Amino acid sequence: DIVIVRELTSGSYFGEPRGIFKEGNERVGINTHRYTESEIERAARSAFELARRRSNRVCSMEKANVMEAGVLWRDVVTEVHQADYADVELSHMYADNGAMQLVRAPKQFDVILTDNLFGDILSDCAAMLTGSLGMLPSASLGAPMENGRPKALYEPVHGSAPDIAGQGKANPTACVLSFAMALRYSFDLGTEATRIETAVEKVLADGVRTADLLQADGDTAVSTTQMGDAIVAALTTSL
């Protein structure tokens, strides 16, 4: 049970200058890994607030050993922690070691805080701990609105998979769990979110599998609708 808090609006994907330029007789591709203190602070506060609602642990990942942006990231995260979140356990790890540790011993992590580029890589690495991208929910959370709720977009981690559209093969679990995240983080309905997550766990424990989760050649896959119906049945049973 890991949550990766990935900063989404800056870093290598948006920094300037960027582009493909002519340099002498050859082309050069440039992307700028750029972060401001306020961008890092915003992501750090999100991670610490989330940790307080979970296991009170944050591991921040960057490359402070070779990147100045990583040095600033570590400094700002530490400053925010010392100023306002000393009750939360904070550790730091280089992102490449973090990828290895996710594979080696994933249970050591609870909330992982990282930047845009490393978050992209680490979240896909963590995805396969579950066996399939079809299992993973996600939330893009912004600043709180006047009602106190964050601006938010909840969706499965995976893409739309047009190659299997209409074939009944898609795993609906990530979509269902994304709704559970919406209940927990936008509507403060943690009990209801847990009921949905528990229903999903029961269905998986009972051996119900869509095609992406089959473990052996002799296993039989259920359809998208059948998987959804099984989750609803498990949820109804828990009422």
pLDDT digits (tens, 9 = 90+) for 84-98: 999 999 999 999 999
Mean pLDDT (whole number) for 18-35: 96
**Tokens, residue 219:** 């296993």
Residue 84: active-site member: no
Sequence ranges of the domains in the chain: 1-129, 135-239
In three-state secondary structure terms, 57 is strand
Q: What is the pLDDT of residues 170-208, one digit of tens each?
A: 999 999 999 999 999 889 899 999 999 999 999 999 999
Q: Choose, from 35, 63, 85, 115, the residue flagged as catalytic.
A: 63
Which CATH code is given to the segment(s) 1-129? 3.40.718.10
Q: Choose, from 75, 87, 110, 120, the residue flagged as catalytic.
A: 120
Residue 202: active-site member: no
How does DSSP assign 91-125, residue by residue? EEEEHHHHHHHHHH-GGG-SEEEE-HHHHHHHHHH
Residue 96: active-site member: yes
Question: Is 0.75 surpassed by the pTM of this model?
Answer: yes
Residue 63: active-site member: yes
Residue 115: active-site member: no
